[in-house]
Structure 1
């Protein structure tokens, strides 16, 4: 195979690896939120990242304090990514838009359980530093939200159903699951 042919094969491979690594950062963000795993959550960002989610705008440390304080009061949360469109600009810069839906198990002022659903998009800038693609700027755009009484009937009818857990106690945190 000629050197020219090898060079043209390298570019698509580099593009694929960048997209894979960026997608992994997106997944670390979501899982870190739901499992309240601060180290995993932080690993989705470069340390100087800036985040604007409407109710908080600022640096990564402040966002961690805000997000984990907010989610830590909840019974559980479930963040899910939809489609993502990632544009690789060069070997060190990329940007993207990712759709999300999130469920939050909350309680009202009287302690009754409620389901808070939020859906929207993340508009991100990514950077590759020392071989690691991470988020450097994130803006959350909220598309819709709904807050409704939670009946929990399905879980009440099947209490043996395995539920999610935080703090390293989830089934997925165990090796060889």
Structure 2
């Protein structure tokens, strides 16, 4: 966003401009630079290009943060003998509507035999170690045309790794699907 002001100084009218950008984390505008009408426009365009790259990077960081928050919360729920898919709706903040609809459908006793899963959908494991909730780390990411794949490791030695396929839904990064990495140390 550009903001312009005119100031009369020593009998000379000068046009001042400010370039601002919206910080998506704080939802506030941040001042990129002040310049007068004689400033070099190439410099301004270069700064705007860098700022859009920074915004894209911060958007990925938001996906990383959401993936970690979800995995810590989910593992804490499982360790407390709660099942987040059917117990309450806090999970709705982290998982897409379509994925939750399918998972809740699979929990219905009328359909559960035909759609049995051999491991937890979000951890891709039948066993959840006690230290997983306190040892969650986002280790890397990559993107494809479908989603931003966030690799999340569990355990003190980060021996179990899952891939959270993150998509934006109503402006929030949410999990659309999860894949396991069978060849990671300790994954079965």
TM-score interval w.r.t. the shorter chain?
0.3 to 0.5
TM-score between the two structures when normalised by the length of structure 2? 0.44
More strand by share: 1
More helix by share: 1
TM-score between the two structures when normalised by the length of structure 1? 0.46
**Structure of higher CA gyration radius:** 2
Of the two structures, which has the highest relative contact order with CA contacts closer than 8 Å and spacing of 6 or more? 1
